[in-house]
């Protein structure tokens, strides 16, 4: 978080010597606060001032990368508390927990679940990104065995090693040392030993403490031991504690520039009941958890959670949109039907998906409406008969098709009359209202 | 470096709005901080959950949902009792049968259903028209009179019909649900218009317009967060009404709550998927500040109430 001019002023020499080109130290401090000057201009600035300003320029929440290669994921580096203030940048990472007692078949099933977790939603590929191996048996060899099973079974998937026993971590990390794993966790009891492993292996490290004061103290201590890539666990497990503690952490980091809490948050939301687990994870997604550890990653659960994450992390200023174009769906020919929709990603992908389901090759004209849905665009006067007519005419689609029939969304049936006037020679057909009516509709015509 | 808990100073507070009467009355609102942040404010009332009942058999509801309701859905009175047994805080009766495109039922028929339902339950009642702005004026007028004394919430008052609907609520001592279209300024504007015609702002529940998970949830979410901030941080009296989210109607028409397993194998089992869709939508609205949720699936409601307990 940026410092105010007055705060910066306190750390300047206060001699008003003008060497920086400003009449007073205070004037210079104001320029610094506004980021219109650099501290280098003051030859007499103390080391203390340089450190302070350097720290203030660092992002309020440190960016941490889990894993390496094309499956690596970045978390942290957020700058606001509410998505409407700017946007949330680095989506929460979902990880499934595999206990060392699950070695063998149970672990294999979860590994498979992660590998097949990818879904395609509104043009984005979403998946469970990581795997956490959890020590429960106190047995380094057993733990290392599961780590190896994960590394071999899901190559490249980032790993979180969970044990408070340094010997166990040591054994596990031997199978993934070069893969930038995340170690869970340094506590007041084992901080030195864990920091040593993290430093040696260039791993990221969770600091775990009960309560925020203890957490801040511990993160400073671990940082002092030379580990910078830290992640926080305040011990919150109940939804209430998650919202409260994560809010305080995020606020302290972003609004107060409080460095000891300026790291991403890890959240363990495991519950016996799968739907309760999903609800707790949802709270984490909305309220600042960067890494969310689930007991299980059932497909239905992940569909809901990944959709929520996508919603929360979209840019509130710019709706997701696709390029204006006449798209070919399947092996469309001259005689294939022509439909129109708007360029809101959601509208486009839903409609396209249903046209694909119908197996009827088609042309899909997508008109630029600044990313608004069909009804919203219509209500905003951006999906009107004259604008559609102009788009169809200028698109050149007539060269690709041998007919002159345009199918419009059922919700804008009201446009059909005026469209026939604006597009002389064209037949306007009103399609179903909901896109899921398209397969039946298209098949009936084919 | 010691941590000082960064607290907000809130100058505003959400109005308390009571529905129903007697032992089962429900009060919503009252929050003096952003959702669930008890370290800097108080939350005298937990968010309430209403289960929806329709005045006609809901043929267009997905199978999973019909199954969860059981055999009572052809009879609104039985259905409302069922909701009460299931642990709903409130029953939300939607008079969808009055819509001209549905069965175009008369205001008198609607009034009778509403009165019968109100008599059959002792938890509070929310009564919603069909969403046809013009027809709703007559329907809600008749319904409001027929349920006088029950301290219901009636709605939805919208830009096109707010005067008549609000007058009906006012004349019969009901609370009012006022809906605007996903816009902070429009929400405020409607509350101002209602106040200007003499409707007590402390009897309004605002509906910022809901949307389902995956289908615009983020718009509702951010509009609500902004409304709550205006209410609490800027102390804007026109934003301090409790918020209702009418989520069931949005959730149970999207593909994720309908597509059979075979059609979408990569989406997991329909039963779990559909219920989760309503619960996760609810969780989003709760985090953004909902004081009242209108839901459809009894199991999803139960799970949502569990989450609310965990959040309080
Ligand atoms: C989210 C939303 C917004 C967002 C915009 C989101 C976006 N990027 O478009 C915001 C908040 C900005 C917004 C603003 C407005 N909105 Co708005 N909005 C909605 C909401 C809640 C969801 C829209 C949505 O995303 N739908 C999902 C997409 C996928 O739907 P779709 O594009 O229509 O596609 C479906 C079908 O049409 C069909 N389909 C699509 N293409 C095709 C093609 C063919 C050939 C076929 C057959 C079918 C088909 O398939 C899709 C799925 O079934 C709806 C209400 C609702 N629940 O539907 C209101 C709604 C669309 N909005 C409405 C209005 C009035 C407005 C505003 C004018 C109000 C205002 N606040 O001033 C503004 C106008 C915007 C502007 N810039 O001026 C009204 C429109 C009323 C009407 N019938 O005219 C609605 C219906 C709300 C209502 N009930 O009153 N809105
Ligand atoms: S150069 Fe440094 S000491 Fe001199 S006026 Fe500028 S800020 Fe002050």
pLDDT of residue A55 exceeding 90: no
The whole-number average pLDDT for the span B31-46 is 98
Residues A106-118 have a mean pLDDT of: 97
What's the gap in Å between the CA of B215 and the closest CA on chain A?
8
Give mean pLDDT, residues B58-62: 93
If you average pLDDT over every residue of chain A, what do you get?
95
Cross-chain CB nearest to A278 (options B39, B279, B310): B279
What does the pLDDT read at residue A37? 82
* Nearest CA-CA distance, residue A165 and chain B, Å: 28
Burial class (CB in 10 A: 0-12, 13-18, 19+), A241: middle
Collect all residues of chain B within an 8 Å Cβ-Cβ radius of residue A251. 6
Does A2 have pLDDT greater than 70? no
* pLDDT score recorded for residue A273: 98
Ligand approaching nearest to the C-alpha of B187? 1
Residue A58 clears pLDDT 80, i.e. is over it: no
Write down the mean pLDDT value for chain B.
97
Structure confidence at residue B186 as a pLDDT band (50, 70, 90): very high
pLDDT beyond 60 at A446: yes
ipTM given for this complex: 0.95
How many residue contacts between A and B have a Cβ separation below 8 Å?
Answer: 152
Ligand 2 pocket test target in A11, A13, A37, A45 with most atoms within 8 Å of CB:
A13
| pLDDT band (50, 70, 90) for residue B125 | very high
- A250, A288, A300: best to mutate for the B interface, most B CBs within 10 A: A300
Q: Point out the least confidently predicted range of A4-13, A192-201, B167-176.
A: A4-13
Ligand 1 environment, Cβ below 6 A: A 319, 339, 341-342, 344, 346-347, 350-351, 371-376, 378-380, 407-411, 431-432, 434-435, 438; B 181-183, 186, 209, 211, 215-216, 219, 250
pLDDT of residue B285: 98
Who contacts B101 (Cβ-Cβ below 8 Å, separation ≥6)? none
Once rounded to an integer, what is the mean pLDDT over residues B142-163?
Answer: 97
User: What are the chain A neighbours of B284 within 8 Å (beta carbons)?
Assistant: 282, 286, 308, 311
Which residue intervals of chain B are DSSP H helices?
63-69, 76-85, 107-120, 133-146, 162-171, 184-196, 217-232, 248-251, 270-288, 298-311
Domains of chain B: 46-311 (3.20.20.20)
Q: Which of B247, B278, B264 lies closest to A304, judged by CA?
A: B278
pLDDT at A52 over 90: no
Confidence band, pLDDT 50/70/90 cuts, at residue A111:
very high
Shortest distance between the Cα of A198 and any Cα of chain B, in A, equals 24
Check residue A326 and give its pLDDT.
96
Least distant ligand from the CA of A12? 2
Set out the domains of chain A in order of their start, with CATH numbers.
5-57 (1.10.15.40), 64-312 (3.20.20.20), 325-445 (3.40.50.11600)
CA neighbor of B63 nearest in space, from B252, B244, B292: B252
Q: What is the 3-state secondary structure (H, E, C) of A277-338?
A: HHHHHHHHHHCCCCEEEECCCCHHHHHHHHHHHHHHCCCCCCCCECCCEEEEECCCCCCCCE
Model pLDDT for residues A342-368, shown as the tens digit of each residue: 999 999 999 999 999 999 999 999 999
State the pLDDT at residue A295: 98
Neighbouring C-beta atoms of residue A225, cutoff 10 Å: 16
Nearest to A316 among B218, B267, B311 (CB): B218
> Per-residue pLDDT for A1 more than 70?
no
- pLDDT band of A3, cuts 50, 70, 90: confident
User: Which residue bears the tokens 């008369």?
Assistant: B106
B304 part of contact set with chain A, CB < 8 Å = yes
State which ligand 1 atom lies nearest to the alpha carbon of A431. 47
Closest residue to A220, CB basis, from B1, B258, B266: B1
Lowest mean pLDDT among A11-15, A264-268, B118-122: A11-15
pLDDT in tens, A259-280: 999 999 999 999 999 999 999 9
Q: A34 falls in which pLDDT band (50, 70, 90)?
A: confident
**pLDDT, mean of residues A165-181:** 96
Q: Percent of chain A, pLDDT > 90?
A: 89
- A233 contacts A289 by C-beta, under 8 angstroms: no
Residue A16 has pLDDT above 90, yes or no: yes
- pLDDT at position A57 is 66
Yes or no: say if A362 and A442 are a contact pair by the CB < 8 Å rule.
yes
């Amino acid at each position: 978080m940026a410092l105010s001019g007055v705060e910066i002023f306190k750390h300047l020499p206060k001699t008003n010597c003008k060497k920086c080109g400003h009449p007073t130290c205070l004037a210079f401090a104001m320029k610094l606060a506004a980021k219109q000057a650099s501290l280098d201009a003051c030859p007499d600035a103390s080391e203390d001032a340089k450190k302070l300003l350097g720290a203030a320029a660092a992002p309020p929440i440190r960016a941490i990368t889990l894993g390496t290669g094309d499956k690596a994921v970045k978390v942290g580096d957020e700058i606001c508390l509410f998505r409407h203030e700017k946007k949330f940048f680095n989506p929460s990472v979902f990880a499934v927990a595999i206990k060392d007692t699950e070695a063998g078949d149970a672990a294999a099933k979860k590994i498979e679940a992660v590998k097949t977790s990818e879904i395609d939603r509104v043009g984005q590929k979403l998946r469970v990104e990581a795997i956490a191996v959890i020590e429960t048996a106190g047995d380094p060899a057993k733990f290392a065995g599961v780590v190896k099973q994960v590394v071999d079974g899901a190559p490249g998937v980032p790993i979180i090693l969970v044990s408070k026993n340094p010997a166990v971590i040591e054994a596990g990390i031997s199978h993934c040392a070069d893969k930038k794993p995340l170690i869970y966790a340094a506590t007041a009891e084992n901080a030195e030993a864990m920091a040593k492993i993290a430093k040696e292996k260039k791993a990221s490290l969770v600091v775990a403490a009960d309560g925020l004061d203890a957490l801040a103290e511990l993160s400073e201590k671990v940082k002092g031991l030379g580990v910078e890539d830290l992640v926080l666990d305040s011990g919150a497990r109940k939804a209430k504690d998650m919202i409260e503690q994560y809010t305080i952490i995020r606020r302290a980091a972003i609004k107060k520039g409080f460095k000891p809490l300026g790291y991403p948050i890890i959240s363990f939301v495991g519950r016996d009941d799968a739907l309760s687990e999903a609800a707790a994870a949802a709270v984490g997604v909305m309220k600042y958890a960067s890494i969310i550890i689930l007991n299980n990653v059932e497909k239905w659960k992940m569909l809901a959670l990944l959709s929520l994450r996508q919603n929360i992390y979209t840019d509130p200023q710019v709706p997701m949109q696709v390029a204006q174009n006449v798209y070919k769906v399947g092996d469309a020919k001259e005689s294939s039907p022509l439909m129109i929709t708007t360029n809101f990603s959601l509208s486009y992908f839903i409609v396209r998906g249903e046209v694909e389901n119908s197996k009827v090759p088609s042309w899909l004209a997508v008109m630029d409406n600044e990313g608004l849905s069909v009804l919203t665009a219509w209500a905003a006067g951006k999906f009107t008969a004259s604008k559609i007519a102009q788009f169809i005419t200028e698109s050149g689609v007539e060269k690709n098709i041998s007919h002159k029939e345009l199918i419009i969304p059922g919700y804008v049936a009201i446009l059909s009359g005026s469209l026939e006037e604006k597009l002389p020679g064209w037949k306007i057909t009103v399609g179903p209202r909901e896109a899921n009516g398209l397969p039946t509709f298209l098949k009936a015509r084919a | 470096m010691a941590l000082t808990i960064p607290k907000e100073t809130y100058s505003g507070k959400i109005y308390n709005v009571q529905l129903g009467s007697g032992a089962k009355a429900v009060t919503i609102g009252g929050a003096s901080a952003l959702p669930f942040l008890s370290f800097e404010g108080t939350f005298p009332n937990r968010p309430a959950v209403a289960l929806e009942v329709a005045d006609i058999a809901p043929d267009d509801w997905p199978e999973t949902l019909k199954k969860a309701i059981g055999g009572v859905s052809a009879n609104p009175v039985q259905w409302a009792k069922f909701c009460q047994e299931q642990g709903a805080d409130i029953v939300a009766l939607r008079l969808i049968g009055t819509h001209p495109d549905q069965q175009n039922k008369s205001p008198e028929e609607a009034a009778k259903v509403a009165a019968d339902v109100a008599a059959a339950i002792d938890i509070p009642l929310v009564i919603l028209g069909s969403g046809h702005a013009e027809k709703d004026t007559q329907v809600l007028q008749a319904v409001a009179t027929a349920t006088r004394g029950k301290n219901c919430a009636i709605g939805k008052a919208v830009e096109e019909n707010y005067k008549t609907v609000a007058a009906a609520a006012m004349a019969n001592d009901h609370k009012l649900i006022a809906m605007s279209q996903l816009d902070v300024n429009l929400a405020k504007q409607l509350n101002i218009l209602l106040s200007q015609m003499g409707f007590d702002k402390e009897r309004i529940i605002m509906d910022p317009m809901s949307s389902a998970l995956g289908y615009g949830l983020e718009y509702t979410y951010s509009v609500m967060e902004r409304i709550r901030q205006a209410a609490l941080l800027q102390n804007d009296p026109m934003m301090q009404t409790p918020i209702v989210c009418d989520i069931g109607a949005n959730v149970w028409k999207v593909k994720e709550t309908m597509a059979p397993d075979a059609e979408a194998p990569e989406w997991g089992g329909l039963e779990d998927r559909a219920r989760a869709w309503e619960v996760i939508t609810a969780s989003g609205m709760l985090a953004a500040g909902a004081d009242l949720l209108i839901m459809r699936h009894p199991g999803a409601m139960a799970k949502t109430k569990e989450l609310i307990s965990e959040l309080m």
